[in-house]
Structure 1
Amino acid sequence: MKNTIISVVGPTAIGKTKLAIKIAQHFNTEIISADSRQFFKEMRIGTAVPTKEELQAAKHHFIQNKSIITPYSVGDFEKEGLACIAKLHKKHSIVVLVGGSGLYVDAIIKGFDTFPKVAPEIREKLNNTLINDGISPLQEQLKLLDPKYYAVVDTENPHRVIRALEVCIGSSKPYSSFITDKKENRPFNVITVGLTADREIIYDRINKRVDIMLQEGLLEEVKSLESKKHLNALNTVGYKELFNYLNGEWTLEFAISEIKKNTRRFAKRQQTWFKKNEDTLWLDFNYDWKVFLNTLEKQVKEKTI
């Protein structure tokens, strides 16, 4: 009989943490976070790390366990995450996986696709373009060479844009053509639960979350990290916009509006990514817990029989 992973996915600010905790408490188990930004201990407010009360409500792993100065890749997370899950499955038949970073969720659930080797000078040239001209021309190039991947990737993340472009250029094929639905043979079953809502509701929740972050001291957090703004971990929504404000390039009002806009765009890409999985059990964010729990327990029973 295989163990089970219950994976909770969905766009940012939809309520994934709250649902994951409810599931973990019901099955008396623990949570693996697959949020690529919540790994970093220096980035608490801007990444919406679970509160102390939430962390106490259910044990979490991979929350603020790394420093932004330490390189950490999705491959590193796959290795460490699978090892942690194997350890947890020795005492819990069910483990909860939660996060909005599709690539990191897939690393645990599916494993990685095989990509061709690329000449290092291609990446060097792309990195020079980023330094000299910014990310915009790279985004446009990716949109031209691989519109399919452009529609789902976080286009504000230069590392991912450059990675896709170097494969497109080096192989003369779209990056997305190397992505398959073939899964690694994992030693566990998977039940994926996706939280969703009408677009207007998601956008309103995002806007309110940004306002709350600012009230909690996001600007002060960003100021404390300004000397490290060149690090890849900080080239992300909520931080890069406020760095532009601190540099005198933008007004604070405009920087805040850009955070909200870029987060809304990110949420749209998250939804596109997660909707690719036809096996996902979709749940309205305003769900009835008892009704959902009945459905979930049936799913668990079907998977483990």
Structure 2
Amino acid sequence: MNVVKQPPVICLMGPTASGKTALAMALSDALPCDIISVDSALIYRDMNIGTAKPSANELSKYPHRLINLRDAAQSYSAADFCHDALAEIASIRANNRIPLLVGGTMMYFKSLIEGISPLPAANSEIRKQIETEAAEQGWEAMHAQLAQVDSVSAQRIHPNDPQRLIRALEVFRLTGNTLTQLTQIKGDKLDGDILQFAITPKERSTLHERIELRYQQMIEQGFENEVIALKKRNDLHENLPSIRCVGYRQMWQYLNDEYDHKEMIFKGVCATRQLAKRQLTWLRSWPELQWLTTDDEMNLSKVLAAVGKCD
């Protein structure tokens, strides 16, 4: 009995502002493929400018799956992403089309390719309990609490990282098992041919220039008003994953009069550069990766050639 070969999965990674979206659109014009976003910021509704979400016109022509999934008050984990992405990939392949995964959230890619641990979903009640305790006792006390039950995670997580601290404590309170114990178990992962590409400018200075230009464009497009609208809600605060997104936190603090407009832009650009540096650090140690250079006219043909070899 002949087994029908599944279409390959294309993974297009890279630091912020490296040109992933433009190449993804070119690939969509050339291949029977459907785009899946691999971006922990694009999952939020009403956060469009600061996340550099594709425009309404672009999304009309090039639909992206796994964007606008959550309200800014909600959480979305790597496990949530893997569950949703695997379902979307199966659906796309069932139609004999190619899943094209595009984004810069490296933990999402890693979890999908290697398999993710069976961690529990976020629990709003437990999280509120932890946040209340932190407000009363301080994050240092919460970090000490984590160290008592999971010293390995406590060594890895900084006391000033409330998002990860909450998650580690939440996992223990929900399951009775530590984050360290559960992450040693791997669950479902992507199968079949996986073509992995990373795109980045040849020079670091070029990437920095692109980041600064994009941030200025966001300001001109009304990024401040976007965050003002979020700030008017009474259910959002600075420690939520959505507001901790690069750019949003700096704008939020500016609106709190913590610094002036010029410093907000400087801090936002610096934070974005730091994000790009972390993304590149991930990618440099990534196995089975084919590198592409931003604005190289041969990028499209290189990816198409790799897809052709999978036939």
Q: Which TM-score applies when normalising by structure 2?
A: 0.77
Alignment of 1:119-158 (within 5 A): 128=133, 158=162
Q: Which amino acid aligns with 2:219?
A: L
Q: Could you say if the C-alpha distance between residues 299 and 82 of structure 1 is closer, same or farther in structure 2, counting changes exceeding 3 Å? A: same
Corresponding residue SS for 1:244: helix
2:285 is the counterpart of 1:270: no
In structure 2, the residue matched to 1:234 is 243
Alignment of 1:101-120 (within 5 A): 101-113=105-117
State the partner residue of 2:214: 209
Residue aligning to 1:284: 293
Equivalent position to 2:226, from 221, 227, 247 = 221
Deviations 1:177-235 (A, max 9, x none): 9579x895533321011001221111111111110000000001110111343143122
Residue 236 (structure 1) shift: 2.0
**Matched-pair identity in %:** 29
Instruction: Report the Cα offset of residue 99 of structure 1.
Output: 0.6
Aligned to 1:37: 41
Partner of 2:58: 54
Q: Which residue number in structure 2 is paired with residue 200 of structure 1?
A: 205
Amino acid at match of 2:52: A
Q: Which residue of 1 aligns with 2:10?
A: 6
Structure 1 pair 238–185 and aligned structure 2 pair: CA distance change class (3 A): closer
**1:124–1:69: structure 2 CA closer, same or farther, 3 Å change rule?**
closer
> What is the CA distance between 1:247 and its match in structure 2?
1.4
Check the 8 A contact 2:197/2:289 in 1, yes or no. yes
Q: 1:299 to 1:20 in 2, by over 3 A?
A: same
Q: How many residues align?
A: 290
- AA aligned opposite 2:252: F
**Do the aligned partners of residues 130 and 159 (structure 1) sit closer, same or farther apart at CA in structure 2, a change above 3 Å counting?**
farther
Cα distance in structure 2, aligned partners of 1:284 and 1:274: 14
Which residue in 1 is equivalent to 2:70?
A: 66
Report SS of the residue matched to 2:193: strand
Give 3-state SS (helix, strand or coil) of 1:234's partner: coil
Q: Which runs of 5+ in 2 are unaligned?
A: 121-125, 172-177
Residues 80-116 of structure 1 show CA distances to partners (whole Å, capped at 9, x for unaligned) of: 2211111111123411000101112223333214689
User: Contact 1:9–1:16 (CA<8 Å) still a contact in 2?
Assistant: yes
Query: Please, what is the CA RMSD of the aligned residues?
Result: 3.8
* Whole-angstrom distance in 2 between the partners of 1:51 and 1:252: 26
Would the aligned equivalents of 1:2 and 1:187 in 2 still touch at CA under 8 Å? Answer: no
2:90 equivalent in structure 1: 86
Matched to 1:243, the amino acid is: W
Distance (Å, rounded) in 2 between the aligned partners of 1:148 and 1:9: 29
How far apart, in 2, do the equivalents of 1:61 and 1:240 lie?
26
Q: Distance in 2 between matches of 1:206 and 1:83?
A: 33
Task: Tell me which amino acid in the other structure corresponds to 1:268.
Answer: K
1:21 corresponds to 2:25: yes
Check whether the contact 2:112–2:189 (CA below 8 A) recurs between aligned residues. Answer: no
Residue 301 (1) aligns with residue 305 (2): no
- Quick one: distance in 1 between partners of 2:231 and 2:308? 50
Give how far 1:243 is off.
1.5
Q: Is the 8 A contact 2:139 2:160 kept in 1?
A: no
Change over 3 Å in CA distance of 1:165–1:270 after alignment to 2: farther
Q: CA 1:130/1:266 → structure 2, altered by over 3 Å: closer, same or farther?
A: farther
CA contact (8 A) 2:82 2:112 kept: yes
